[in-house]
Amino acid sequence: MKLWKPFVFAVLVTLGMNALDMLFHVATETAVHLNYVAVKFTIVFVSVFLIAWLIGIGRTPGIVSALLGPTAFYIYYRVATPTLDRSLFRIDDAVLYVVVHAIALALVYWLATRVMKKDSGSLSFATLTSLAALPLHWGWIMFVIKWTGGLDGDTTKALTLSAALIALVVLWVLCYFASWVANRWIGASVAGIVFAIASMFLGATAIGGVARVFVLGVPYVLATELKR
C-alpha cells in the first residue's frame, strides 16, 4: 500500500483515540498530562501507521493495532520515570487502562474504515473529524498554559468534562454542515473560521483564533483524503 493513505488514516485514528481517551480521563478524574498525551500519540500513531502501511487496513489489522498500541504504551508507562507527581495525580498506568485504550482505538479504527467507504454519509465523517479535532484543541490549550509559565499539574485542568463535551458538539455541528459544501478546502476554511470566531468570542486571543482554524481545518482536509 502507498504511504499517504496509511499515514492519513493513522493520524486520524490516533487523534480520535486520544479524544475518547482524554474524555474518559476527565470523567474518571485521571490526569490528562501533556507529556503523556504526546508519548501516547507517538506510540499509537507508529503502531497504526506501520500496520496500515505494511499489512493493510481491515478487521484483523485493526484488532492487532488496537492491542499493539496500548500494550506498547503500557510498557512505556511501567519502565519510564514518572513526569507527574503520582502522589498528587492519578494517571492511567493501571492494566485496566490498556483495555480502555484498546476499546477507544478499535472504535475510532472502525469509524475511520466506515468513512473510507464510498457510500459513507456525513454522520460518520463529522464524528471522525470532530473527534480528531478535539485533542488538537485541547492540546493547544494545554500548550498555552505551559507556555505562559503553568506547571505540569496546571495543564491537567485545561478542560473540564462539560467544556470538552461542548467543544466536541460544536466541532461536530460545524463539520456536519461543512460536509455539505462540495469543495473540501472551502468547507474546511469556513468550519475553521467559524470555530476560531466562536473561540475568540469566548476569550481566546488572535493567535488562538488562528490556531483554531488549523485545529479544525487540518483534520477536516485529512478526513476528505480518506474518502478519495
Applying CB under 8 A, the site for another protein has a residue count of 19
Alpha carbon separation from 118 to 98, 226, 227, 228 (Å, rounded): 33, 10, 7, 8
Which DSSP state fits 92?
Answer: S
Q: Which residues of 2-11 are buried (b: 16+ CB within 10 A; e: fewer)?
A: eeebbbbbbb
Distances (CA, A) of 205 to 29, 43, 162, 188, 196: 28, 32, 22, 21, 10
The single residue among 15, 20, 51, 204 that binds another protein, judged by CB under 8 A, is 51
Q: Which of 14, 18, 30, 47 binds another protein (CB under 8 A)?
A: 47
Name, in order, each residue with C-beta under 8 angstroms of 53's C-beta and a sequence gap of 6 or more: 1, 3, 6, 7
In sign, the C-alpha dihedral spanning 178, 134, 120, 218 is positive
Cell readout for 114 is 466506515
Binding flag, residue 63, another protein (CB under 8 A): no
Residue 17 as a binder of another protein (CB under 8 A): the answer is: no
DSSP 94: S
d(CA 144, CA 178): 28
Min dist. Cβ of residue 104 to another protein (A): 18
Site string (26-45) toward another protein, x via CB under 8 A: -------------x--xx--
**Under rule CB under 8 A, residue 55 binds another protein:** yes
Residue 205 binds another protein, judged by CB under 8 A: no
Between residues 61 and 187, which has the closer beta carbon with respect to another protein?
Answer: 61
11 touches another protein (CB under 8 A):
no
- In angstroms, what is the minimal distance from the CB of 152 to another protein? 14
Binding string to another protein for residues 75 to 114, with x set by CB under 8 A, is what? Answer: xx--xxx-x-------------------------------
Q: Does 14 bind another protein (CB under 8 A)?
A: no
Is residue 33 within 8 Å of 84, Cβ to Cβ?
Answer: yes
As separate numbers, helices (DSSP H) first and strands (DSSP E) second, the chain gives 9, 0
Considering only the stretches 67-75, 108-116, 145-153, 190-198, report the one whose residues sit in contact with another protein under the rule CB under 8 A: 67-75
In terms of CB distance, is 68 or 141 closer to another protein? 68
Interface with another protein by CB under 8 A: which residues?
39, 42-43, 46-47, 50-51, 54-55, 64, 68, 72-73, 75-76, 79-81, 83
